[in-house]
Chain A
Amino acid sequence: MADDALPASTVSVNGRQCEVRTEPDTALLYVLRNHLGLKGTRFGCGLGVCGACLVLVDGHPTYSCDTPLWSVMGKSVTTVEGLGADGPHPVARAIVAQQAAQCGYCMSGIVVRAARLLAENVDPTETDVRAALDDNLCRCGSHNRVVRAVLAAAAEMRKGDD
C-alpha cells in the first residue's frame, strides 16, 4: 500500500514538527524508531512495564510502546536524542564516563527518567534516585553504578548553574 493512502499526522518530536503516515493507533515507539529513524527509544516489553521505551510527553515520562500516536498529537515528545541542550544529556555522559552500563539496552529509558528527576530535583539523594528509577528494569546489574552516575551528573549540573 502506498504511503500516501495512509492518514498523515503531525507530531512534535525533539522540537521539530514531523509528518508521519500511519494508522493513528500505531504505538509512538514505532513512529519514533521506524518512521522518524530515532533508534534511541527501545522496545522492551510492549506493555509499559520495563521502561526501555520511555520518552517525555509534555515533560511527563511516558511509555512509548503502549502510547498511541493520536494521543500525542499537539503535544511535545522528547526522546533520549533530544534531551540534552547541547549534545548528549549529562546523565548519559556520566554513565559513559563511569562505565555505568553493561549491555546498555535499558539505558535510554533510564536516562530519560533520570533527566526528568533532575529537572524537578537538582540535588536528589541516593534514595530519591533509586525510587525514581524503580520502574526501569536493568538485567545486567548496573544499578549501583547508574545511581552513582546520576548523582555525579546532578552535581555536575549544579556546578554548571553557578
Chain B
Amino acid sequence: MSTEALPPTLVANPRLGDWLRFDHDGIVELRVGKVELGQGIITALAQMAAEELDVDVVRIRMTATTTDLSPDEGMTAGSLSIQQSGASVRQVCAETRDIYLDVAAEKLAVPKEDLTIEDGRITGPHRTETSYWELADDRLLDRPASGTVAPKPESDYRVVGTNVARIDLPDKLFGRPRYVHDLQMDGMVYGRVVRPPSRGATLTSLDTGPTLQLPGVVNVVCEGNFIGVIADREEVALTAAQRLRADAEWNVHPSLPDEDDLPAFLTSAPANTTHIAETQQPTTASPHGSWSATYHRPFIAHGSIAPSCAIALATEGPRLHIWTHSQSVYNLRREIARELGMSSEQLVVGHVEGAGCYGHNGADDAAMDAAVLALATPGRPVQVVWSRADELAWAPLGTAGVVRIDADTAADGSVLSWRHEIWSGSFISRPGMAPPPAFLATSDRDRTAIYSDAEPPLERGGGTRRNAVPGYDFPSYEVVNHLIPQMPLRTSALRSLGAHLNVFAAESFMDELAANAGRDPVEFRLSHLSDLRARAVLEAVVRQSNWSEWTPGDSVGHGVGYARYKNSGAFCAVVAEVSAVQEVRVQRLTIAVDAGLMINPDGAVNQIEGGAIQATSWTLKERVRFDTYTVTSDNWETYPILRFSEVPAVDVELMPGNGNPPLGVGECAQGPTTAAIANAVCDALNVRVRALPFTTDQVVAAMPS
C-alpha cells in the first residue's frame, strides 16, 4: 500500500498518535471522528482495532469525539462509518502494531519475524517477552501513516465477524449517566426556548417583567423572534417558559399550503430542474405498452424518543465549550462560530451520546440554543432540552415528495424505457451544507427562514435523487429532478434520504408492470437483473419467505421490494406479509442483505431489523400534519408511531461476505420495506395505494369509486 491508497479520513488526519495511544495499564485509547448514535459504531470500530492490534477488545477505550482532540472524519451519516472510519482505524492499528514490533524486536534482541502478539503481550523465542503496555511511548506514534504496512488478511480475523457485546449498553440499561441529557456540571443552569406560535410569525411585544420576578430565574434573552430563559432549576425554567409564552404577542399569518392537497403543491411549486438520461441499447422496437403512475410521501418526523439537548459554557474571551449529540461536531463548531461572529478557535464542541436521531433532527439547533443562552450567562454551563412539541414540530423534517414513473414495455412486458421524475424538497440543510442561517435560533434571531436547495452529487449517492437511477438493466432511462428550494416546512436528512420514496415508487411500479404483463413479480425483477449479488438477495428472500408456497387468502397478501442502497451500497430484498381487514397490519418481514464483510453480524441484524421496523411505522402511520399556520402533529397522539403490539415478526438473513468490503447497513432496508408492504397491500386488496401512509382513510381513498 502506498500513501495514495490510504483511506481518505487518514489522509486528512495522518498522524498515528492522533488516533491511538497505549497506556502502561493495559489500555488502548482509540480516538475516532465518528460518533455513537445507537447504531453500535464504537463497538464495531473497537473490534476492528482489537483485531489489527491483537488485543482483547475490552482493552479498547473509545474516546468520545471532540474537536480539540479527535481526528476530523466529517459527519456520521450515510451508512459510511465502517467504510470510512473503519478503513482508517484498520490502517492506523496495523501500522502501530508494526512499529511496536520493531521496538520489541530491538529490545528483546530477536528477529521481528519471530515475534507474536496475543492480547498485547509480545513474545519471542527463548521465553523473551514484552508488551504494548511496557513499551508504551507516545513518541513512537508521532509520525504520519506511511501506507507501507498491510492490514491483516480477512482469513486471519478472530474478532471481526463475531458478536462482541455493545460497549455502551450496560450504562444505558443500568441507569448510569451516559446521555448528554445526564451531564450534571457544577453551577449548571437550565435553559428553555420559546418558539413562535406559527411559521413566519413576528414577535410584536414581550413583557419579561413577570418572568424575571419568578424566584430562580437567572436571565431572559430576547433577540428578534428568539426568546429564551435560564433558571437555576429545571422546574423553574419550565414554569418561566410558560410564563414567557403567555406574555409574548405575535403577528401571525397563514403561510402553509393545504396539507390535504400536498402533491398538487409539490408538483406546481417553483423548482430547480435537472436531468440525467442514459440510453445503453438504442432500440428500434416500438413499444407494446406505455404505463404511468404517481406516488407520494408526506413529511415524516425523525421522532427521536429523546428531545434534543445540549450544554454550553461561555468563559472569558469569549470561549465556548459545547456538549452535543450532533452527528458532526466539526461542522457544528465552524457554523456556530460563523453565525455568532466568532472564530472556530474560540469553540470546542464535544460529542456526548444522545438517543437515536435517524438523521438531522434538532441536535444541532439545540446546540445553538445553548450557545446563545450561554453567551448571555457567562461562567455557568447552560443545559437546553427541547420540549416534545418542539421536537416534532420545529426540528427539520424528512421532506415530502412526489415521484411519477413512466415506462414503455415490450410485448412480454419487459421494460424498454423508464422515466423517473421527482418533485421534492432538499434532504440537505445540515449546518455548513446550505446557506445560513442553519439554526433555528439564528433564524429566529434574524427573522430569516431556513431554506436549502442543496443536492449532493450522485457519486455520493445523491439526496432527493438517491436510488432514482434504476438498478435494473433497462435499455434506456431518464431521471428528472425538480428540487423545490423554498419548502413550506424546513426539511433535511432523514434516514435513507430520497431512497425511501424513490424505491417505494420504483418497486411499486415494477409490480404494476409485472401485473400488467401477468408475470410473477420476483421473476419479472430477476429478468431485468443481471448483477449476481442483487439476484442472490432476491433469491434468498424468496427462499426464506417460502414465496412460492404462499396460500392466497381473504385480505392477506405478500409483496417484495428490492434495492441496492445508493446504487453502490448494501443489497437488500424484503418480502412483506400483510393482513388488511380493518386496517393494514404487517405480520412478517423477511429480509436478505448483502453488505460484504460483517464486522459484528448481530449488530448489523439489529440495524437492519430496526430500519425495517421504523420503515413499517413510516409506511403505516406517519404523516406530519399541519394547518395553514404551523405543524399540528406535535405529540405522540397526533403523530403516532408503531407500537409493540403492531410490530411485525422480522427475519434477517445476512449473505456471506465472499471477500467483498464492508458496506453500511443502517439505511438499506427503508425503501425495500415500504415497497414490499405496498406490494403486499395490493396483493391483499387488489388496490394499488400510491400515497403514504397506508392508513385506512388512504387505502379507502385509493379504491376505485
A interface, CB within 8 angstroms of B? 1, 5, 22-23, 26-27, 30, 33-34, 37-47, 49-50, 52, 79-81, 88, 92-93, 95-97, 99, 101-108, 111, 129-131, 133-147
Q: In the complex, what distance in Å separates the CA atom of A48 from the CA atom of B54?
A: 49
Kindly identify which residue among A1, A81, A137, A147 contacts B643, using a CB–CB cutoff of 8 Å: A137
A39 touches B177 (CB 8 A): yes
* CB contact list, B212-268 vs A, under 8 A: 215-216, 232-235
B37 touches A80 (CB 8 A): no
Set of chain A residues within 8 Å of B649, measured between Cβ atoms = 144
Q: In the complex, what distance in Å separates the CA atom of A130 from the CA atom of B613?
A: 15
B157 at the interface (CB under 8 A from A): no
Q: In the complex, what distance in Å separates the CA atom of A1 from the CA atom of B353?
A: 32
A103 touches B356 (CB 8 A): yes
Q: B398 CB to closest chain A CB, in angstroms?
A: 13
B235 touches A107 (CB 8 A): no
B305 touches A139 (CB 8 A): yes
Q: In the complex, what distance in Å separates the CA atom of A26 from the CA atom of B190?
A: 15
Q: In the complex, what distance in Å separates the CA atom of A80 from the CA atom of B171?
A: 12
B175 at the interface (CB under 8 A from A): yes
Given the known interface contacts A26-B235, A131-B645, A137-B305, the answer about A111 and B173 at a Cβ–Cβ threshold of 8 Å is yes
Set of chain B residues within 8 Å of A96, measured between Cβ atoms = 165-166, 169-170, 173-174
Q: A14 CB to closest chain B CB, in angstroms?
A: 10
B641 at the interface (CB under 8 A from A): yes
Q: A22 CB to closest chain B CB, in angstroms?
A: 6
Task: Name the segment of B315-323, B526-534, B601-609 touching the other chain.
Answer: B601-609
B235 touches A143 (CB 8 A): no
Given the known interface contacts A22-B235, A52-B306, the answer about A92 and B636 at a Cβ–Cβ threshold of 8 Å is no
B432 at the interface (CB under 8 A from A): no
Set of chain B residues within 8 Å of A52, measured between Cβ atoms = 305-306
10 further A-B contacts with Cβ under 8 Å, apart from A102-B40, A105-B306, A131-B645, are A38-B175, A44-B305, A49-B635, A49-B637, A88-B175, A95-B173, A99-B602, A135-B643, A141-B612, A144-B650
Set of chain B residues within 8 Å of A50, measured between Cβ atoms = 305, 388, 636
Size of chain B's interface in residues, with CB distance under 8 A?
Answer: 60
Set of chain A residues within 8 Å of B356, measured between Cβ atoms = 102-103, 105, 139-140
A104 touches B173 (CB 8 A): yes
B307 at the interface (CB under 8 A from A): yes
Cβ contacts A to B, 13 pairs, < 8 Å: A30-B233, A33-B234, A34-B184, A39-B184, A47-B636, A50-B636, A99-B602, A101-B173, A104-B172, A141-B647, A143-B644, A144-B609, A144-B650
A141 touches B173 (CB 8 A): no
Nearest 9 CB-CB pairs, A to B? A40-B175, A103-B38, A141-B613, A104-B172, A141-B610, A105-B355, A103-B356, A39-B182, A45-B388
B38 touches A104 (CB 8 A): yes
Residue of B nearest to A37 (CB): B184
Kindly identify which residue among B163, B179, B635 contacts A99, using a CB–CB cutoff of 8 Å: B163
Q: A118 CB to closest chain B CB, in angstroms?
A: 16
Q: A153 CB to closest chain B CB, in angstroms?
A: 12
Q: In the complex, what distance in Å separates the CA atom of A5 from the CA atom of B172?
A: 35
Set of chain A residues within 8 Å of B645, measured between Cβ atoms = 130-131, 134
A143 touches B305 (CB 8 A): no
Set of chain B residues within 8 Å of A79, measured between Cβ atoms = 175
B339 at the interface (CB under 8 A from A): no
A92 touches B174 (CB 8 A): yes
Kindly identify which residue among A101, A108, A135 contacts B169, using a CB–CB cutoff of 8 Å: A101
B181 at the interface (CB under 8 A from A): yes
Kindly identify which residue among A33, A81, A102, A135 contacts B607, using a CB–CB cutoff of 8 Å: A102
Kindly identify which residue among A38, A47, A111, A130 contacts B635, using a CB–CB cutoff of 8 Å: A47
B151 at the interface (CB under 8 A from A): no
Kindly identify which residue among B233, B354, B358, B644 contacts A134, using a CB–CB cutoff of 8 Å: B644
Set of chain B residues within 8 Å of A102, measured between Cβ atoms = 38-40, 356, 606-607, 610
Given the known interface contacts A111-B173, A141-B613, A145-B609, the answer about A134 and B643 at a Cβ–Cβ threshold of 8 Å is yes
B interface, CB within 8 angstroms of A? 37-40, 163, 165-166, 168-170, 172-177, 179, 181-182, 184, 215-216, 232-235, 303-307, 354-356, 358, 385, 387-388, 602-603, 606-607, 609-614, 617, 635-637, 641-645, 647, 649-650
A137 touches B641 (CB 8 A): yes
Q: B299 CB to closest chain A CB, in angstroms?
A: 17
| Candidate in B358, B388, B614 with the most chain A CB atoms within 10 angstroms | B388
Question: How many A-B Cβ pairs are below 8 Å?
Answer: 180
Q: In the complex, what distance in Å separates the CA atom of A162 from the CA atom of B457?
A: 63
Residue of A nearest to B669 (CB): A141
Q: In the complex, what distance in Å separates the CA atom of A103 from the CA atom of B42?
A: 12
Q: A131 CB to closest chain B CB, in angstroms?
A: 6
B609 touches A39 (CB 8 A): no
B39 touches A139 (CB 8 A): no
Set of chain B residues within 8 Å of A97, measured between Cβ atoms = 165
Set of chain A residues within 8 Å of B215, measured between Cβ atoms = 1, 5
Given the known interface contacts A27-B235, A105-B179, the answer about A136 and B644 at a Cβ–Cβ threshold of 8 Å is yes
Q: A71 CB to closest chain B CB, in angstroms?
A: 15
Given the known interface contacts A1-B216, A96-B170, the answer about A130 and B644 at a Cβ–Cβ threshold of 8 Å is yes
Q: In the complex, what distance in Å separates the CA atom of A100 from the CA atom of B67?
A: 32
Kindly identify which residue among A81, A104, A108, A139 contacts B168, using a CB–CB cutoff of 8 Å: A104
A45 touches B635 (CB 8 A): yes
Q: In the complex, what distance in Å separates the CA atom of A78 from the CA atom of B356?
A: 26
Set of chain A residues within 8 Å of B609, measured between Cβ atoms = 141, 144-145
Q: In the complex, what distance in Å separates the CA atom of A102 from the CA atom of B650?
A: 16
Q: B152 CB to closest chain A CB, in angstroms?
A: 25
Kindly identify which residue among A44, A81, A136, A145 contacts B306, using a CB–CB cutoff of 8 Å: A44
Kindly identify which residue among B182, B233, B306, B642 contacts A22, using a CB–CB cutoff of 8 Å: B233
A99 touches B168 (CB 8 A): no
Q: In the complex, what distance in Å separates the CA atom of A139 from the CA atom of B610?
A: 8
Q: In the complex, what distance in Å separates the CA atom of A71 from the CA atom of B694?
A: 42
Q: B527 CB to closest chain A CB, in angstroms?
A: 33
Q: A13 CB to closest chain B CB, in angstroms?
A: 12
Residue of A nearest to B232 (CB): A1
Set of chain A residues within 8 Å of B641, measured between Cβ atoms = 137, 139
Q: In the complex, what distance in Å separates the CA atom of A9 from the CA atom of B176?
A: 25
B173 touches A42 (CB 8 A): no
Q: In the complex, what distance in Å separates the CA atom of A136 from the CA atom of B356?
A: 16
Q: B495 CB to closest chain A CB, in angstroms?
A: 11
A139 touches B303 (CB 8 A): yes
Set of chain A residues within 8 Å of B176, measured between Cβ atoms = 39-40
A42 touches B643 (CB 8 A): no
Given the known interface contacts A99-B163, A102-B38, A104-B38, the answer about A142 and B643 at a Cβ–Cβ threshold of 8 Å is no
Q: In the complex, what distance in Å separates the CA atom of A134 from the CA atom of B644?
A: 5
Set of chain A residues within 8 Å of B165, measured between Cβ atoms = 96-97, 99
B173 touches A144 (CB 8 A): no
Set of chain B residues within 8 Å of A88, measured between Cβ atoms = 173-175
Q: In the complex, what distance in Å separates the CA atom of A7 from the CA atom of B625?
A: 43
Q: A140 CB to closest chain B CB, in angstroms?
A: 5
Q: B195 CB to closest chain A CB, in angstroms?
A: 15
Q: B76 CB to closest chain A CB, in angstroms?
A: 13
Q: In the complex, what distance in Å separates the CA atom of A73 from the CA atom of B614?
A: 40
Q: In the complex, what distance in Å separates the CA atom of A103 from the CA atom of B179?
A: 10
Given the known interface contacts A39-B182, A46-B387, the answer about A142 and B305 at a Cβ–Cβ threshold of 8 Å is no
